[in-house]
A and B are shown apart, each in its own frame.
Chain A
């Protein structure tokens, strides 16, 4: 099993969700986060004064998937979130030790 974490531009969320649903992913956790990468921050001007905004708003997605689905999920997120611009985000994939569905106690692939 893999835990796939993706940081994406907020306005791409719906496309990513649709793409993941289409390949059979049944669950997804989204959080609003702030951070910086190559994009850095940006400058805002209020009443003629410049303010440096160092942390840019992004969405963080967390998806747990079975090993055989992992590569397709990564591809699907990449396709759906890609603007071909700096700041489009990153995808992290990590091994996942255990999963349990709280209600039934089912574990691992059965819990997905």
Chain B
């Protein structure tokens, strides 16, 4: 996040052992005094980010499935939120943000298991570390929940739980450590303000793989039922938009100008991508749809995420536009060209958006393009290479480890429900409830 990165930038020219020691978290900010203002904003942001999953993402996804699967999608998001919270307490935070000792470049985990030693007086920067734990927990909740969109309407509930738990520990926690916890990508200088790589590339690429291995929904691609409740999807999307202010502006970890700028660029990118998507639909199909415009919104938000604390308003305008165009066409590319039923387009929107934003950060962070400036001695070209290394490394890690996890889950509980059960719908089959009296 910003704090560590700006420290990196400040100290990068002072190549002394002392400065390098300061790079490791949380010692880097040890001399910053407690700030009530910062703490108040991060408390607020934490609530906003949880609100993104519960109920924002759940409703967003819930409206897009058949009427007899709506509860299963809400259930997936809710259950993942609970599971991820407990795992984060037990070891997720320690692996991501605890000091890793000799293995620090790769993984944390030498301390802070069960959050031991993190009392209310321990600071992380200018806020209590326990608040930082909680703020990060809400990121650990939404990231595996994003993957829900890839496997709706056909997966076993047990597979959802087992996959999400293993994925959080084996994919998310290490990558989070690499980028934000003082790992090798952070040392390399990768810029990811709020999770373009950590959240969206990990979730998007794993989602694509899982959808491929799981196979498409019955009737994919020709004979599917349309989204059962676009209105519900819009309500969820609007909650995501608002919650994203906590996600991006909260990632400044301070109540300051950086947070304010992050909020503005987040908003502009969402608006621009939405209208771009709607315009493309109008030109191509004759009508702008509600489902389309809110999908554009998510694309714009995912794409601005890594860039949010680094770029200015004009950068946000361009990033939002690029997100609207690229993600729009990627949705069709995934389903119609490579024939993978990533059902709710997690890869095309989050994976592609997160990667695009991460790469564009190299340019729009530059002061000459209205950004907050690149680190001293860094050019757009060299930063682009750094960003590209970050994206590719995390993409490969996510896909490889996810593949192993999927095989394990498949062997233990199986992945897919029976054909008959899929027709009947997961609400009744997996949860014994129905969303509507039909």
Contacts and interface: CB of A to CB of B under 8 A. Distances in A.
A47 B345 CA distance: 9
A46 B229 CA distance: 12
Contacts of B292: 46-47
A34 to B, nearest CB: 12
B335 interface: yes
A31 to B, nearest CB: 14
Residue among A44, A45, A47, A49 with most chain B CB within 10 A = A47
Interface string A44-58: 111111011100000
Contact of A51 (B224, B284, B287): B224
A45 B221 contact: no
A46 B224 CA distance: 11
A52 B284 CA distance: 18
A36 B192 CA distance: 53
Contact of B221 (A46, A49, A52, A53): A49
A36 to B, nearest CB: 16
Interface in B220-253: 221, 223-227
Contact of A44 (B226, B284, B331): B226
The majority secondary structure among interface residues of chain B is: helix
B227 A46 contact: yes
A51 B223 CA distance: 7
Contacts of B345: 47
Contact of A48 (B224, B225, B287, B331): B331
Contacts of B223: 52
Residue among A44, A48, A51, A52 with most chain B CB within 10 A = A48
Residue among B224, B226, B287 with most chain A CB within 10 A = B226
A51 B332 contact: no
Contact of B285 (A45, A51, A52, A53): A45
Interface string A7-34: 0000000000000000000000000000
Nearest to B335: A49
Residue among B221, B224, B284 with most chain A CB within 10 A = B224
B291 A47 contact: yes
Contact size range, B:
20 to 34
A55 B227 CA distance: 15
B289 interface: yes
Nearest to B348: A47
A81 B332 CA distance: 40
B295 interface: yes
A44 B226 CA distance: 8
Contact of A53 (B226, B281, B284, B328): B226
Nearest to B345: A47
Contacts of B328: 48
A45 B336 CA distance: 14
Interface residues of A, number: 9
B380 to A, nearest CB: 33
Contacts of A53: 226
Interface string B268-288: 000000000000010011010
Nearest to B284: A48
Contacts of A46: 226-227, 289, 291-292
Nearest to A45: B285
Contacts of A52: 223
B134 to A, nearest CB: 35
A45 to B, nearest CB: 5
B353 to A, nearest CB: 14
A53 B287 CA distance: 17
A1 B331 CA distance: 58
Contacts of A48: 284-285, 328, 331-332, 335-336
Interface string A32-71: 0000000000001111110111000000000000000000
Nearest to B224: A51
Nearest to B286: A45
B113 to A, nearest CB: 43
A24 to B, nearest CB: 36
A53 to B, nearest CB: 7
Nearest to A46: B291
Interface string B201-235: 00000000000000000000101111100000000
A35 B328 CA distance: 33
B289 A49 contact: no
A52 B225 CA distance: 8
Residue among A44, A46, A53 with most chain B CB within 10 A = A46
A51 B331 CA distance: 15
A45 B331 CA distance: 13
A45 B284 CA distance: 11
A41 to B, nearest CB: 11
Nearest to A48: B332
Contacts of A49: 221, 224, 332, 335-336
Please name the 3 residue pairs, one residue from A and one from B, whose CB atoms are nearest each other, closest first.
Answer: A51-B226, A48-B332, A45-B285
13 contacts: A45-B281, A45-B285, A46-B289, A46-B292, A47-B291, A47-B292, A48-B285, A48-B332, A48-B335, A49-B224, A49-B336, A51-B225, A51-B226
